[in-house]
Structure 1
Amino acid sequence: MRTVEEHQAAVAALLPRLPEERVPLAEAHGRVLARDVTAAVALPGFDNSAMDGYAARWDEVGGATERPVRLPVAEDIPAGRSDVVPLAPGTVHRIMTGAPLPPGADVVVPVELTDGGTGQVEIRDSPAAGTHLRRAGEDIAAGAVALSAGSALGAAQLGLAAAVGLTDVPVRRRPRVLVLSTGSELVAPGEPLAPGQIYESNSLLLAAAVEEAGGLPRRLHFVPDDVDQFLATVRAELATADLLITSGGVSAGAYEVVKDAFRGLGTVEFGKVAMQPGGPQGAGTVDGVPVVTLPGNPVSAFVSFEVFVRPALRRALGHASPDRLRAPARLTGPLRSPAGRRQFLRGYVEGGEVSQVGGPGSHLVAHLARANCLVVVPEDVTELTAGAEVDVVLIEGALR
């Protein structure tokens, strides 16, 4: 029986780093940088005002904290003005937020500390010298690394890339992932159910998980429990895939089509991992394409994807931090766990406390939908009391 870490390493070894491509910023949301990118310009690009107010010399207005100072307003400087003239002694310039600071000014007096005059202004108080000024390059200097390789490009990162003058970015190509559910008992949702049939859900669950991890999923449906037909269907689709994920057909039953088909090829290894749910696992290649076989129960498939496939996909994409965030939490109630297997229990964590959601059964998908974390119980722990500290893996998708 493999350890969790041994099977994680086996799956990760199947997926090399994906090739690089350049994409426009408008198409880069959610992508992962393949290389460092540098700032084409400094931020800010010039000294500017952090407030609406008056650009002044502090030695002329600093006394306003004790007695109001009246000075003529020599210029108006809106944001975007480029012909800014130096500040003449004994005057102020009315200035807007983001507008260029006139040479000679060393403080901006907020309009709230004045009477708001346009020809002449009364300054009734003054901040310290250097206040409300944004100096050129104080955020980032031109030529400095703006975003590092491995950064996921969210809203803030794309905003920065645009602000420093980038039009496109080098990213890792998204992996093309085939998702296939097996089982003659499976029926498309919405169709009538005959006795013994169930609605197929794993392919949608896993395709969504692939997309959340950064991949491009494509679903293959309802391959019956027939080895020849299964292999023919798979091989017809593999040429355009970077990874095949199957669910079902890998346990110890008499009709395990995935195991029967791939074992004959000799390139996929099957076994058990010391975990619950998700013990039966397989990994290898078919026609040179990486294949990961997951168990068929929905919770087992989900947990197996989270533990093995998601981090491998994110490493292939170049994520600097491929793993889910983890946090300590205290149990709200006691729990038991079988010896020798790492448990991944559904939980709901809030305010540093975590409660178990539903039982350990791998068919309880409604409870999975209400969880926002997985509670990790080590292999050598069989019992925990209320208040005990546990490690939780934070996941999305909780319904509460």
Structure 2
Amino acid sequence: MGAMLTLEEAQARMLALAPQMPIEQVAAAEAVGRYLAEDLVALRTQPPADLSAMDGYALCGVGSWRIVGESRAGAPFDGNLMWGQCVRISTGAHMPKWADRVLIQEDAELVLPDLVHTQENPARGRHVRKRGFDFCEGDVVLPAGTRIGPAQIALAISAGHSQLPVRKAPTVAVLDSGDELSADPRACGDHQIPASNGAMIAAMLGGLGCVVQRIGPVPDDRDALAAALAKAEAADILVTTGGASVGDHDLIRPALDAWGAQLDFWKVAMKPGKPIMVARRGSQVIFGLPGNPVSSFVTAFLFVLPLVRAAMGSGIPLPRKATLAAGCDLPPVGTRREFLRAVWEGEGVKLADSQDSSALAALAAANCLIDRPAGADGIEAGTSVPVYLLENGGIA
């Protein structure tokens, strides 16, 4: 396959393989975590009329004002105001016709039971929310590719939508392989380790609404792997962990070849995660992730989650970077780009206790990855560094 790909080259090739999932209509209130498949156009204007932004009095003209009624939210004043008249008004209530400003309750003086005065007249338009200041009918309120969160749900409903067009979440099969893996962590011999990668990756995919099919753990045996792969026939995406390297017992690549998969790339110039493999079988995208749990986590974060988001229609599928100050000195970097597990607690970002690719305690303590370029010199604490925040798959 020639020279190893850079991360950006590998991600670009991976995203080019993303299947386009079909569009479905989902209740707006249940669409959290999904991505809009089409521009969302407002079906109504918000606010639908001029509204008061405060409790007080809606005024016509300047000076003192005689109270002629009340406008409440949901019960507008039925009539027009004349110069020198006002109505008692509550926040969110319709402004009567010819009312052009609101005198807030705190600044109002009742000189008679029905006469309001103030020491300083509010300016025209004061405390008035003009019709359509938020959005108007026909406006694009959310573009295609937007990730739907609580605020987007509220906006969509306010714009008149009870259903939203989103792309269906893909089905993902996750296959653990390795003779050393035990399905039961309570019955794990000294020669075994509990199979944790599949559960970890399934949890990473959980926030995207994917249907995850767990397969394995599967021993390092060609026939067993062939039978396991057959169970993943219907999945949109297949993720394997373990067996992706070049040892005598690393059988994932030959098993995928025999299954009819076509390799797109193998090996990326990164640490951890160098032996990641991406292939395709028909429309199905296949990831071969390393077996070490930290390597599996980092490659799932940088490759699997972005592909799933792209398949679901995300406009920004790759995780976003932040820039933070290093909270400790960082060592020089070797020939591969490094993703260091680190902890950010609001000040500097500090390295986790271990950078070993099998160290789960350090991974569990980390909440970010420091991105260090290949060949970089060591840096001192306080230097700005690019960082991926791990929460929410890096797409806060």
The answer, yes or no, to whether TM exceeds 0.5 is: yes
Q: Which residue of 2 aligns with 1:123?
A: 117
Secondary structure, aligned partner of 2:233: helix
Measure the CA separation in 2 of the matches of 1:108 and 1:397. Answer: 43
Which of 85, 94, 108 is the matching residue for 1:91?
Answer: 85
Q: Which residue of 2 aligns with 1:183?
A: 178
Residue identity over aligned pairs, in percent, reads 38
List, as ranges, runs of 4+ consecutive aligned residues in structure 1 with deviation greater than 4 Å.
Answer: 115-119
Q: Which residue of 2 aligns with 1:57?
A: 60
Q: Which residue of 2 aligns with 1:202?
A: 197
Q: Which residue of 1 aligns with 2:351?
A: 356
Shift of 1:93: 0.6
Compare 352-361 and 194-203 and name the one that shifted more: 352-361
Q: Which residue of 2 aligns with 1:10?
A: 13
Measure the CA separation in 1 of the matches of 2:62 and 2:189. Answer: 88
Shift of 1:244: 0.3
TM-score, normalised with respect to structure 2: 0.91
Compare 384-393 and 99-108 and name the one that shifted more: 384-393
Q: Is 1:141 aligned with 2:119?
A: no
Q: Is 1:248 aligned with 2:251?
A: no
Measure the CA separation in 1 of the matches of 2:203 and 2:125. Answer: 52
Q: Which residue of 1 aligns with 2:219?
A: 224
Measure the CA separation in 1 of the matches of 2:138 and 2:281. Answer: 46
Query: What aligned pairs does 1:14-93 form with structure 2 within 5 A after superposition?
Result: 14-60=17-63, 69=64, 71-82=65-76, 84-93=78-87
Cα deviation 1:97-122 (Å, max 9, x = unaligned):
11111111111111111246994143
Q: Which residue of 1 aligns with 2:317?
A: 322
Measure the CA separation in 2 of the matches of 1:190 and 1:228. Answer: 25
Aligned-partner residue type, residue 142 of structure 1? E
Shift of 1:272: 2.3
Secondary structure, aligned partner of 1:146: strand
Shift of 1:381: 1.2
Q: Which residue of 1 aligns with 2:298?
A: 303
Secondary structure, aligned partner of 2:99: coil
Measure the CA separation in 1 of the matches of 2:283 and 2:160. Answer: 41
Cα 1:205/1:337, change in 2 over 3 Å: farther
Shift of 1:18: 1.9
Contact 2:333-2:373 at 8 Å conserved across structures: no
Cα 1:352/1:326, change in 2 over 3 Å: farther
Measure the CA separation in 2 of the matches of 1:115 and 1:230. Answer: 83
Shift of 1:313: 1.8
Compare 151-160 and 87-96 and name the one that shifted more: 87-96
Contact 2:61-2:84 at 8 Å conserved across structures: no
Measure the CA separation in 1 of the matches of 2:254 and 2:333. Answer: 30
Aligned-partner residue type, residue 56 of structure 2? G
Measure the CA separation in 1 of the matches of 2:357 and 2:199. Answer: 17
Query: What aligned pairs does 1:103-118 form with structure 2 within 5 A after superposition?
Result: 103-115=97-109
Shift of 1:197: 1.5
Measure the CA separation in 2 of the matches of 1:116 and 1:358. Answer: 68
Cα 1:104/1:9, change in 2 over 3 Å: closer
Shift of 1:237: 2.9
Secondary structure, aligned partner of 1:103: coil
Q: Which residue of 2 aligns with 1:64?
A: none
Compare 10-19 and 128-137 and name the one that shifted more: 10-19
Measure the CA separation in 2 of the matches of 1:105 and 1:189. Answer: 73
Cα deviation 1:68-99 (Å, max 9, x = unaligned):
x4x43211111111462111333211111111
Q: Is 1:331 aligned with 2:330?
A: no
Measure the CA separation in 2 of the matches of 1:389 and 1:286. Answer: 42
Q: Which residue of 1 aligns with 2:146?
A: 151
Contact 1:330-1:354 at 8 Å conserved across structures: yes
Shift of 1:252: 2.3
TM-score, normalised with respect to structure 1: 0.90
Aligned-partner residue type, residue 29 of structure 1? V
Which of 231, 236, 243 is the matching residue for 2:231?
Answer: 236
Contact 1:372-1:397 at 8 Å conserved across structures: no
Shift of 1:249: 0.9
Which of 376, 388, 391 is the matching residue for 2:386?
Answer: 391
Secondary structure, aligned partner of 1:262: helix
Q: Structure 2 unaligned runs (5+)? A: none
Contact 2:147-2:314 at 8 Å conserved across structures: yes
Contact 1:57-1:104 at 8 Å conserved across structures: yes
Which of 373, 376, 386 is the matching residue for 1:381?
Answer: 376
Secondary structure, aligned partner of 2:317: coil
Compare 25-34 and 242-251 and name the one that shifted more: 25-34
Measure the CA separation in 1 of the matches of 2:66 and 2:379. Answer: 75
Shift of 1:397: 7.5
Compare 376-385 and 28-37 and name the one that shifted more: 376-385
Measure the CA separation in 1 of the matches of 2:22 and 2:385. Answer: 38
Secondary structure, aligned partner of 1:264: helix
Compare 29-38 and 73-82 and name the one that shifted more: 73-82
Secondary structure, aligned partner of 1:290: strand
Query: What aligned pairs does 1:278-289 form with structure 2 within 5 A after superposition?
Result: 278-286=273-281, 288-289=283-284
